[in-house]
Structure 1
Amino acid sequence: MEIGSEFHISHNKILYSEVFIYKDKDILLNYGRTAIKFLLENLQDLEHIRGVLLPNYLCESIIQPLKEINIPYEFYKIDKDFKVIINDMESKLKPGWAVFVLDYFNVRQEKELLNYINNIRDTNIIIEDITHSLFDIKESIGHFQIASIRKWLGLPSGALIRDFYNGKMHNLVIPETSNINSELVQKRFYAAILKSLYLKEQGNEHVKSEYLNLFNEAEMILDKSNIEASKIDSISKEIISHYNFESMLEVRKENYKILYTGLKELQAVEVINGRPDDNKVPLGFPIKVHDRDSLRNSLIQANIYPPIHWPLPEELLYEPTDAILNISRSILTLPCDQRYTEKDMNRMIKVIKNHYWS
Structure 2
Amino acid sequence: MTGDSRRRALAGGGATGVVHGRWEHGSDFHLTLPRGDADAFPWGRGPVTLWGSGRDALRAVIRRGRQHRGWRRLHCPSFYCQDVVRALAREIDVVLYAESPLEPAPALPRPAAHEVLLVVNVYGLRPRPELPGGAVIEDHTHDPWSDWACSSQAEYAVVSLRKTLPLPDGGALWSPRSAPLPEERAMTSAHAQACLDRLSAMALKTRYLEGRRVAKAAFRALAVAGERAVGAGDAPSGVSGYTRAALPALPTARWRRARSGNRAALRAALGDLPGVSVLDTPFAVTLVFHGTGADERRDRARAALADARVYAAVLWPLESAAVGGIPAEHADLARRLLTLQCDFRYTRRDMMVVAERVRRICAAS
Matched, 1:355 2:357: no
Matched, 1:54 2:55: no
Deviations 1:141-174 (A, max 9, x none): 52111110111113111111120234311xx432
Pairing 1:17-96 to 2, within 5 Å after superposition: 17-21=37-41, 23=43, 25-69=47-91, 71-79=92-100, 81-86=102-107, 90=109, 93-96=111-114
Q: Is the 8 A contact 2:168 2:243 kept in 1?
A: yes
Equivalent residue, structure 2, for 1:177: 187
Unaligned regions of 5+ residues in structure 2, if any? 1-22, 291-296
Deviations 1:169-194 (A, max 9, x none): 1xx43222222222122111111110
Equivalent residue, structure 2, for 1:288: 288
Equivalent residue, structure 1, for 2:179: 167
Instruction: Tell me how far 1:50 sits from its aligned partner.
Output: 2.0
Instruction: Tell me how far 1:305 sits from its aligned partner.
Output: 0.4
The percent of aligned pairs where both chains have the same amino acid is 20
Report SS of the residue matched to 1:147.
Answer: strand
Q: CA–CA distance in 1 between the matches of 2:231 and 2:56? A: 12
Instruction: Tell me how far 1:227 sits from its aligned partner.
Output: 3.9
Report SS of the residue matched to 2:338.
Answer: strand
Q: Is the 8 A contact 2:50 2:184 kept in 1?
A: no
Instruction: Tell me how far 1:298 sits from its aligned partner.
Output: 2.0
Equivalent residue, structure 2, for 1:211: 219
The residue identity in structure 2 corresponding to 1:285 is: V
Report SS of the residue matched to 1:309.
Answer: coil
Q: Tell me how many residue pairs correspond in the alignment.
A: 332
Instruction: Tell me how far 1:320 sits from its aligned partner.
Output: 4.2
The residue identity in structure 1 corresponding to 2:313 is: P
Equivalent residue, structure 2, for 1:345: 351
Q: Evaluate the alpha carbon distance shift between residue 303 and residue 97 of structure 1 in structure 2; reply closer, same or farther with a 3 A threshold.
A: same
Q: Evaluate the alpha carbon distance shift between residue 20 and residue 133 of structure 1 in structure 2; reply closer, same or farther with a 3 A threshold.
A: closer
Q: Evaluate the alpha carbon distance shift between residue 326 and residue 315 of structure 1 in structure 2; reply closer, same or farther with a 3 A threshold.
A: closer
Q: Is the 8 A contact 1:299 1:352 kept in 2?
A: yes
Q: Evaluate the alpha carbon distance shift between residue 269 and residue 38 of structure 1 in structure 2; reply closer, same or farther with a 3 A threshold.
A: same
Q: Evaluate the alpha carbon distance shift between residue 190 and residue 80 of structure 1 in structure 2; reply closer, same or farther with a 3 A threshold.
A: closer
Instruction: Tell me how far 1:44 sits from its aligned partner.
Output: 1.2
Instruction: Tell me how far 1:294 sits from its aligned partner.
Output: 1.8
Q: Evaluate the alpha carbon distance shift between residue 35 and residue 287 of structure 1 in structure 2; reply closer, same or farther with a 3 A threshold.
A: same
Q: Is the 8 A contact 1:195 1:207 kept in 2?
A: no
Higher helix share: 1
Report SS of the residue matched to 1:42.
Answer: helix
Report SS of the residue matched to 1:314.
Answer: coil
Q: Is the 8 A contact 1:126 1:141 kept in 2?
A: no
Pairing 1:224-263 to 2, within 5 Å after superposition: 225-230=233-238, 232-263=239-270
Report SS of the residue matched to 1:174.
Answer: coil
Report SS of the residue matched to 2:280.
Answer: coil
Instruction: Tell me how far 1:300 sits from its aligned partner.
Output: 0.7
Q: CA–CA distance in 1 between the matches of 2:54 and 2:170? A: 8
The residue identity in structure 2 corresponding to 1:61 is: D
The residue identity in structure 2 corresponding to 1:125 is: A
Q: CA–CA distance in 2 between the matches of 1:163 and 1:273? A: 30
Q: CA–CA distance in 2 between the matches of 1:142 and 1:133? A: 16
Matched, 1:332 2:354: no
Q: CA–CA distance in 2 between the matches of 1:264 and 1:199? A: 29
Report SS of the residue matched to 1:229.
Answer: coil
Counterpart of 1:188 (choices 189, 194, 198) is 198
Q: Evaluate the alpha carbon distance shift between residue 308 and residue 79 of structure 1 in structure 2; reply closer, same or farther with a 3 A threshold.
A: closer
Q: Is the 8 A contact 2:39 2:252 kept in 1?
A: yes
Matched, 1:156 2:168: yes
Instruction: Tell me how far 1:58 sits from its aligned partner.
Output: 0.9
Q: Is the 8 A contact 1:288 1:331 kept in 2?
A: yes
Counterpart of 1:129 (choices 117, 130, 139) is 139
